[in-house]
Amino acid sequence: MKDAFKQAFPEISILLDEPLMNYTFTKTGGPADVLAFPKSATETKALVDYCRENDIPWLVLGNASNLIVRDGGIRGLVIMLSQMTKVSVKDTLVEAQAGAKLIDTTYAALKENLAGFEFASGIPGSIGGAVFMNAGAYDGEIKDVFASCEVLFADGTIKTLNHDEMNFSYRHSAVQDLGAIILSARFQLKKGNHEMIKARMDELTALRQLKQPLEYPSCGSVFKRPVGHFTGKLIQDAGLQGMKWGGAQISEKHAGFIVNIDNATATDYVELIAYIQKTIKEKFDVALETEVRIIGEE
């Protein structure tokens, strides 16, 4: 099966038994049987069609920022869209391929003096991942600027979904329920003052650098914010901040983050997450739900 991919798609960069720890922001994760880097929607569709016709499991990773891949890795095909990075601007509409970095897209908007995307200037995800999970920060969310996106379904069809069809909610979009791939997205912004936009972006970037443990590998914010609470404060109040589990640690800088301080494994991460959830439930009767995606085999 593995070599067959290379034979079927000589034009696509394909790696076999590739450790995903080389790509995840946590620097953890086992191997993908087959890892492919398509350069276009056409190549992505061809890969999915091949998997469907040959009954091979597949999944898509954005830039693997808000993600934990278990140490057993992933069977079948993993598609990474990191070579699909084109961003274009027409009037007040910004269009970006799914693999484009969210930060780069906000700077493309800044270059054209477009306002509304400043909140995302410090989020280290891809466009596809950001739309998939309705990423947000500093009182802004993707849903606030989203216009439409192209989506590839498992049956090989490509459709355009508008804002209403995405059913956005906190860290959720309809694409999560559809088993589909976001290929590109468009964002409706508005004309603004270049200096004011840049000042806000600089302010939010500085806040992120001040508050978040960017000096260590991490998966970003681990948990969704529970209603009526702040996750970091709950973890602090439970006396867990700074706790180490294998090579993973609850960040001493921000308790909502788990950092890789000493060659942590994905198992370290998953077990520490479960321990935090158990402790917070026992102490405060609050159920912490993960924001980070946990995928792959034990």
Q: What positions carry a catalytic annotation? A: 171, 221, 291
- Dig out the tokens for 156 from the structure: 């090989």
CA 204 – CA 108 distance, rounded (Å) = 17
DSSP letter at 129 equals: H
Q: What is the largest CA-CA distance in the chain?
A: 56
Q: Is the dihedral of CA 13, 17, 22, 24 positive or negative?
A: positive
CA 164 – CA 148 distance, rounded (Å) = 9
DSSP letter at 40 equals: S
Name residue 187's beta-bridge partners.
Answer: 94, 146
87 contacts 97 by C-beta, under 8 angstroms: yes
101 contacts 85 by C-beta, under 8 angstroms: yes
